């Protein structure tokens, strides 16, 4: 993928101009400052198109902020973030983001999906079929007519994922998507994430759950107090962490 500036789009099977690829993502000396403190502290890294990046670290390490900075929801105080040369605002339409607490519209399950399609300019006639497919893939086919906000926590998060996936994003950003779910719901979400990943979407996920990171990660970024302490293949990170903070975190000790 690297060095190939254009890839053809399979967006909804419609003939469309080729979509520019937005990977790799390059961060250079990115800082986010609030009240005189660096909550994200001079982070530089490059994320390639390989499948699964997990941003790991204790609560308050700056994981969510980093994700929001990359998605362009908040502005870096200094430094630069480029998606294959594109700025964060231009690149956002090739991404989707799912939040820790799913933000669902006060409408039916199906209407939540078709809303996203409408915003992305998918013609009205094509929407019902895509909505049906998306709900089937997420295992929500029977719930299409139900009010979205009355679903269980796990179903809500799967709906949020289905709504993100239906847009065929190149990159899906996930902010602790299972942090408030029980193990069964977490497993359903992880299964869905696996399907999304296999469909060719790159996943960048934050988590503080070590087990989840071990299960899913191809690549790990370890954050601590806003600083990027480690960045490497998952096997290497879990086998031989280089920093004492990561070692402590892996041993399950509380790190601050």
Q: Which residues bind other proteins (CB under 8 A)?
A: 68, 71, 73, 92-93, 95-97, 99, 103, 105-107, 115-116, 119-120, 147-150, 167
92 vs 225, which CB is nearer to other proteins?
A: 92
Q: How far is the CB of 119 from other proteins (least distance, A)?
A: 5
Q: How far is the CB of 55 from other proteins (least distance, A)?
A: 17
What does the alpha-carbon distance between residue 213 and residue 244 come to, in Å, rounded to a whole number?
18
156 vs 207, which CB is nearer to other proteins?
A: 156
Q: How far is the CB of 46 from other proteins (least distance, A)?
A: 23
Question: DSSP string spanning 148-169?
Answer: GGGS-HHHHHHHHHHHHHTT--
Q: How far is the CB of 99 from other proteins (least distance, A)?
A: 7
Q: How far is the CB of 237 from other proteins (least distance, A)?
A: 29
What does the alpha-carbon distance between residue 241 and residue 36 come to, in Å, rounded to a whole number?
31
Tokens at 30, concatenated: 């990115």
Q: Locate tokens 């954050």: which residue?
A: 223
Q: How far is the CB of 241 from other proteins (least distance, A)?
A: 32
54 vs 91, which CB is nearer to other proteins?
A: 91
Q: At 17, is the secondary structure helix, strand, or coil?
A: coil
Q: φ, ψ for residue 83 (rounded to 5)?
A: -100, 95
68 vs 84, which CB is nearer to other proteins?
A: 68
138 vs 234, which CB is nearer to other proteins?
A: 138
For 230, residues 6+ apart whose C-beta sits below 8 A from its C-beta are 220, 221, 222, 237, 241, 242, 243, 246
User: 204 near 174, Cβ under 8 Å?
Assistant: yes
Q: At 56, is the secondary structure helix, strand, or coil?
A: strand
15 vs 89, which CB is nearer to other proteins?
A: 89
């Amino acid at each position: 993928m690297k060095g190939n500036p254009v890839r053809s789009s399979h967006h909804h099977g419609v003939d469309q101009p080729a979509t520019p690829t937005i990977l790799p993502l390059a961060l250079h000396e990115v800082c986010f400052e609030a009240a005189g403190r660096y909550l994200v502290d001079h982070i530089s890294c490059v994320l390639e198109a390989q499948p699964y990046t997990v941003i790991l670290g204790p609560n308050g390490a700056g994981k969510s902020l980093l994700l929001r900075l990359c998605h362009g929801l908040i502005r870096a105080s200094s430094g630069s973030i480029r998606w294959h040369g594109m700025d964060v605002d231009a690149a956002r339409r090739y991404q989707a983001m799912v939040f820790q607490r799913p933000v669902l519209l006060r409408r039916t399950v199906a209407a939540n999906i078709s809303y996203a399609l409408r915003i992305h300019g998918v013609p009205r006639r094509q929407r019902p079929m895509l909505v049906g497919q998306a709900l089937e893939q997420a295992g929500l086919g029977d719930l299409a007519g139900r009010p979205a906000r009355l679903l269980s926590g796990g179903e809500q998060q799967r709906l949020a994922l289905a709504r993100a996936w239906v847009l065929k994003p190149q990159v899906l950003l996930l902010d602790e998507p299972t942090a408030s779910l029980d193990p069964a719901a977490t497993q359903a979400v992880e299964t869905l994430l696996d399907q999304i990943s296999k469909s060719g979407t790159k996943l960048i996920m934050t988590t503080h759950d070590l087990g989840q990171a071990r299960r899913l990660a191809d690549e790990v970024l370890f954050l601590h107090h806003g600083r990027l302490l480690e960045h490497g293949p998952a096997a290497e990170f879990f086998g031989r962490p280089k920093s004492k903070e990561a070692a402590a975190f892996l041993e399950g000790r509380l790190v601050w």
